[in-house]
Chain A
Amino acid sequence: MAQIEDHGNDHGKGGKKRPKKHSTHIDMTPMVDLMCLLITFFMLTTAFSKPKVMEIVLPEKKKDDKIEGPKVPKHRTFNILITQNSTIYWYIGNYNPTDKTDTIPNFYKTDFSKDGIRKVLLARNKELFKSIEELKENVKKGVVKPEEILTKDSLAVLQKTKTQNEIVNFITMKAIKELKSKDEIGPIVLIKADKEHTKYKDFVRIIDEMAIASIARYAVVDPSFYEMQKLAELTGNAPPVAENKETKK
């Protein structure tokens, strides 16, 4: 700009009257003030991340006691007992003290650390975990195509409303679900929390461990009277009272 002005001055020796140049500056201070205020307001009131939720589905309550639950193979039954101070005891199989042929199971003590219950669960759920990881890897690489999992029609419906990324997520979830339902060797985990001594965080944590280890089947159930007795013995808590609701069942 300055150069142009100089140029003009050189030629205008005769004294052409130029209108006085007004500064183009506007005082922006009030505007900046206001903006600062607004930004601060929005920054402080924003809830950036929406809360995340963990979904659990509990089995429907049996209305009729005569209907028996599905039979679970003994060697696949993995019992987790949670008690105070985030302590976990686990054992395999089921034990009925009235049945003389049952052998008393071994109780193992563990915790929520990385090498605790997670390692035990992963070791037992190795096959399923591996196949799920492989599937995720293949989807990422693009080896598994959406067309292979979904029919043409349902894919077309999805494409209308969802982005490519969402579709990929959707089919991965579907494929994982299918893998899980086909699982015949992984553990069936029964989560039993000692009502009086467990904290909510441990309940969430154990369900989270199920998700981490990709456990196909798990359920939250009440501990039996025998298990409560055993827990009391192991932790030094007061033993359960015999007139317990659980024993009547």
Chain B
Amino acid sequence: MPKIKLPTSSPHIDMTPMVDLFSLLLTFFMLTTSFKPTEVAVIDTPASISEKQAPDNNIMTISISKVNKLYFNIDNGIDTSRHYRIETLKKMGEYYKIVFTPKELAKFEKLSGFGFPIQAMKAWINAADQKARDEIQATLEKDKKDGIPIDSTDNQFSNWILFARTANPDLQVAIKADLETEYEIVKKVLDILQEKQVNKFNLVTNMEKVEVKMEDIK
């Protein structure tokens, strides 16, 4: 009996359309991507109807966590040649009598936001990687020494603002606070900023559309 030969179909699948689609997606993501900045604290921002976008640079972000701790971040301006972060830290170091080596300053330039007294800054900069830095932040939190001091006895926050603004006069202020943050601390921050002649603030919010119809008004 002759063997029945099944027609052997090639196991190849035509992947061209799939590859096409993938390349399209890849190109799209590559072009539109802007990397998520690393966040210092989990902050759930309130909603507003504002559609204004946060500026890309020349911005000083003051984050206030759920438990009323302050975090601070500044950027380097429109390009890295300006070294605003270095300038600011240098002045802070001079004021608090902490000497930062050029290497440390250069390292600080590439880092992001932080929330602890300046005295812990050296250890934080010299930590091996981001994980070690997060650990430092976590230990400080445990010892209740986290957050930038804002009391009148040791107002480091006010100095950060002062020196950041002397380094970069175009700096805008963004305040990012949690839903549950106490108004008292926000008010304190606003007061300090106003003392430093900052009267315009950007409150970071999520957008939420609200429609008001003419019929609603009677």
Q: With A54-B203, A58-B199, A122-B212 as given contacts, are A45 and B35 in contact (CB-CB < 8 Å)?
A: yes
Nearest chain B CB to A124's CB is how many angstroms away? 10
Total A-B Cβ pairs within 8 A: 167
Complex CA–CA separation, A158 to B37 (angstroms):
33
Q: Which residue of B lies closest to A115 (CB)?
A: B216
Is B167 an interface residue when CB atoms closer than 8 A count as contact?
no
Contacts of B179 in A (CB 8 A): 199-201
Q: Is the interface of B mostly helix, strand, loop or mixed?
A: mixed
Q: Which residue of A lies closest to B205 (CB)?
A: A54
Q: Which residue of B lies closest to A194 (CB)?
A: B183
Is A74 an interface residue when CB atoms closer than 8 A count as contact?
no
Query: Would A45 and B36 count as touching, CB distance under 8 A?
Result: yes
Nearest chain B CB to A93's CB is how many angstroms away? 23
Q: With A47-B36, A123-B218 as given contacts, are A54 and B12 in contact (CB-CB < 8 Å)?
A: no
Q: With A58-B199, A200-B46, A200-B64 as given contacts, are A53 and B12 in contact (CB-CB < 8 Å)?
A: no
Complex CA–CA separation, A202 to B46 (angstroms):
9
Query: Would B50 and A211 count as touching, CB distance under 8 A?
Result: yes
Nearest chain A CB to B100's CB is how many angstroms away? 30
Q: How many residues of B contact A (CB 8 A)?
A: 61
Query: Would B52 and A52 count as touching, CB distance under 8 A?
Result: yes
Nearest chain B CB to A122's CB is how many angstroms away? 5
Query: Would A46 and B36 count as touching, CB distance under 8 A?
Result: yes
Is B22 an interface residue when CB atoms closer than 8 A count as contact?
yes
Query: Would B182 and A119 count as touching, CB distance under 8 A?
Result: no
Query: Would A122 and B216 count as touching, CB distance under 8 A?
Result: yes
Contacts of B121 in A (CB 8 A): none
Which residues 194-243 of A have a CB within 8 angstroms of B? Answer: 194-196, 198-205, 207-208, 211-213
Is A35 an interface residue when CB atoms closer than 8 A count as contact?
yes
Q: Which residue of A lies closest to B184 (CB)?
A: A195
B106-138 Cβ-contact flags toward A at 8 Å (1 or 0): 000000000000000000000000000000000
Contacts of B32 in A (CB 8 A): 46, 48
Query: Would B53 and A200 count as touching, CB distance under 8 A?
Result: no
Contacts of B186 in A (CB 8 A): 200, 203
Query: Would B34 and A51 count as touching, CB distance under 8 A?
Result: no
Query: Would B34 and A47 count as touching, CB distance under 8 A?
Result: yes
Is B4 an interface residue when CB atoms closer than 8 A count as contact?
no
Complex CA–CA separation, A127 to B12 (angstroms):
71
Partner-binding segment picked from B82-90, B145-153, B187-195: B187-195
Task: Show 8 residue pairs from A and B whose CB-CB distance is below 8 angstroms, ordered by the A residue.
Answer: A39-B22, A53-B50, A133-B214, A194-B183, A195-B184, A205-B48, A208-B205, A211-B50
5 smallest beta-carbon distances between A and B, as pairs:
A42-B29, A198-B183, A53-B202, A200-B181, A54-B50
